[in-house]
Amino acid sequence: MKDAKPDNYVAIVPIRAGSRGLANKNIMAFAGRPLYEHAVCQGLRCCAGCIVSTDIESVLTTPVSDERLLHRRPPELASDTTPMDDVLKNAIISLDLTGKNIVLLQATSPLRRDENILEAMECHRSGGFDLVLSVAEGDRSILKSGLIEDGRFVPVRKPEYCFTNRQSLPYVYRPNGAVYVFSSDWFLANGGLATDRIGAVVMDVTQSHDIDTKEDFSHAEMIFKEMSASVESS
């Protein structure tokens, strides 16, 4: 995959010690290795390097290499209410990643494939978007929803969708948190990830499994092992 590792793309894997849903989930053994390591290995395979932004002492003392860096996240950026924008800004400025493109890989999306990352990077290289993210198909019934503004119902999309059978509604997609690709220079100038110029790569719903609870962890690990066995036997 040498040709798939352009020098100006760097992966960032953010992990923190605290977690309300499942304590220490990022460093729990998942299919034989710490959960976060799956994201790190993907970042190293697909990008020129990978940075782990963390406050976990056991991770901060692991061996590093020319391609793998560890960034100590300040305590004030390690709470469950810390915006991801602040975590990314801290890493980009502290490590002087200006001029680089960032590939954000969440450790809690272990069913993501290398191909999903490479597709997102290729989409970003096309130059048509500020941000490229991975999505999965969502519930079309959301198009029947709306907001209440001064007592008035305001549809989220088109009024006619509120009275359309679900099967006849357009497909909808939701960000699944697995892959984000953007320019560090654009991010700093923009002040965050929010933009209306977003490209999307579609991932299968099964691959979009996110880990938040013990049940999520066990279910994702089962699917991961099944996927790995299928690849090995093909």
Range(s) of the domain holding residue 25: 2-134+175-233
**Band (189; pLDDT cuts 50, 70, 90):** very high
pTM: 0.92
Calculate mean pLDDT across residues 161-190.
Answer: 97
Q: Does a structural domain hold residue 162?
A: no
Q: Does a structural domain hold residue 18?
A: yes
Per-residue confidence (pLDDT) for residue 177, from 0 to 100: 96
- Model confidence pLDDT, tens digit, residues 119-129: 999 999 999 99
Per-residue confidence (pLDDT) for residue 109, from 0 to 100: 97
Calculate mean pLDDT across residues 75-98.
Answer: 94
**Band (1; pLDDT cuts 50, 70, 90):** very low
Calculate mean pLDDT across residues 96-120.
Answer: 97
The structural domain count of the chain equals: 1
Cα 137 to Cα 12, 44, 74, distances in angstroms: 25, 28, 36
- Candidates 143, 136, 144, 133; CA nearest to 182 is 133
Q: Does a structural domain hold residue 142?
A: no
**Band (234; pLDDT cuts 50, 70, 90):** low
Q: Does a structural domain hold residue 154?
A: no
DSSP state of 223: H
User: What gap in Å lies between CA 186 and CA 189, rounded to an integer?
Assistant: 5
User: What gap in Å lies between CA 46 and CA 105, rounded to an integer?
Assistant: 11
Calculate mean pLDDT across residues 40-62.
Answer: 95
Q: How many CA atoms lie within 13 A of 51 on its CB side?
A: 22
Q: Does a structural domain hold residue 197?
A: yes
The better pLDDT of the pair 56, 65 is held by 56
**CATH number reported for the structural domain that contains residue 182 in this entry:** 3.90.550.10
Q: Does a structural domain hold residue 167?
A: no
Q: Does a structural domain hold residue 23?
A: yes
Is 50 exceeded by the pLDDT of residue 207? yes
Q: Does a structural domain hold residue 158?
A: no
CB atoms within 10 A of CB 63: 6
The better pLDDT of the pair 66, 56 is held by 56
Is 70 exceeded by the pLDDT of residue 46? yes
The better pLDDT of the pair 66, 97 is held by 97
Per-residue confidence (pLDDT) for residue 186, from 0 to 100: 98
- What rounded mean pLDDT belongs to the chain? 93
163 Rama class: left (phi>0) / alpha (psi -120 to 50) / beta: alpha
- Model confidence pLDDT, tens digit, residues 125-173: 999 999 999 999 999 999 999 999 999 999 999 999 999 999 999 999 9
- Model confidence pLDDT, tens digit, residues 3-43: 557 779 999 999 998 777 788 999 999 999 999 999 999 99
**Band (64; pLDDT cuts 50, 70, 90):** confident
